[in-house]
Amino acid sequence: MDKPGFIVPPPWLVPERDDESTVPAEDVAPASFPAFLPAPIGGMPAPALPPRSVPAPEEPSVAGWRLTLDDGQSIVVTGALVLGRDPAEVASRPLAGLVRVHDPARSVSKTHAVIDPGGQTLSVTDLGSTNGVSITAPDGRVTDLDPGGQGFLESGSRLILGEFGVAVSRE
């Protein structure tokens, strides 16, 4: 207690004892504990976990695509998207997001079209829909896609799935 910087505790926190019976801390042997290794359940060794892959940081994009659907949905396009009334996975794009379109007129097929971002372009492919896909360019020019056909979208375009509209913009 005679060391500089030592704070004296209040008397009620210090137990009463004889100073001769106390052992200095330097003389006390440190306790040793056995290492604990968990035993595998059922006697089988636990399988080794595969190393986790750390995703590479995404480069910030200068501008992205946005789809604004007539049903009020607004979607930022970060990868392939399948649009339809009740869309199902498309074999050629197994990782595509599924976007359910709320079309009271039922002019949109269950799995109608796929949207693909590709650098500076955005493309749409008709998936053999019943009522077709058309693109209205910002200048008013209309392009009807053949079943299975592909077209390219630009900012300000309007995509028509059957009778259902989707506004396309670049952010």
- Chain-centroid distance of CA 46 in Å reads 30
The yes/no answer on whether domain 66-170 falls in CATH 2.60.200.20 is: yes
d(CA 113, CA 126): 5
Encode pLDDT of 119-167 as tens digits: 788 999 999 999 999 999 999 999 999 999 999 999 999 999 999 999 9
Q: What is the CA angle 153-83-111, rounded to 5? A: 125
- Chain-centroid distance of CA 95 in Å reads 12
Encode pLDDT of 69-125 as tens digits: 999 999 999 999 999 999 999 998 999 999 999 999 999 999 999 999 987 889 999
- In this prediction, residue 146 carries a pLDDT of 95
pTM: predicted TM-score of the whole model, two decimal places: 0.63
- In this prediction, residue 13 carries a pLDDT of 72
pLDDT over 70, % of the chain = 69
Where are the chain's structural domains? 66-170
How many other CB atoms sit within 10 Å of the CB of residue 71? 13
